[in-house]
Structure 1
Amino acid sequence: MTRARVRCAACDRPLGKRGRPCARGCGARLCTARHIPPCNDVHGGQCPNLDIPEE
């Protein structure tokens, strides 16, 4: 049985041993690749722990 590969939550690249957890604590793993826009910025708008202020 093979183990599922961990992939970036924003760009879907395989992470291997690299990657960092979401800063908001949702459990998503994000890559550290140098592309624009960075994955932590992209995931910031998609994160389930995002607190949007009510008007």
Structure 2
Amino acid sequence: MTARVRCAACDRPLGKRGRPCARGCGARLCTARHLPPCNDLHGGQCPNLDIPEEP
């Protein structure tokens, strides 16, 4: 049995749908139309997120 790919933000099964994270962390995100969108939700969780340091 193979492992199913699931959305990194909402944990829905992806099947052949889904897109990679825009920041290149390797996470797969679903394209379902729900609010908030998974690409926005994953944006705050992404390990490649560049947070500016305060001076």
- Report TM bin, short chain: over 0.9
- Residues matched between the structures, number: 52
TM-score (norm 1): 0.94
Question: Alpha carbon RMSD of aligned pairs, Å?
Answer: 0.1
Correspondence for 2:46: 47
1:1-55 to 2 correspondence within 5 Å?
4-55=3-54
Instruction: Name structure 1 gaps, 5 residues minimum.
Output: none
Q: Percent identity?
A: 96
TM-score (norm 2): 0.94
Structure 1 residue 47: Cα displacement: 0.1
Structure 1 residue 24: Cα displacement: 0.1
Query: Matched residues in 2 for 1:50 and 1:15: separation?
Result: 23
Query: Matched residues in 2 for 1:49 and 1:5: separation?
Result: 24
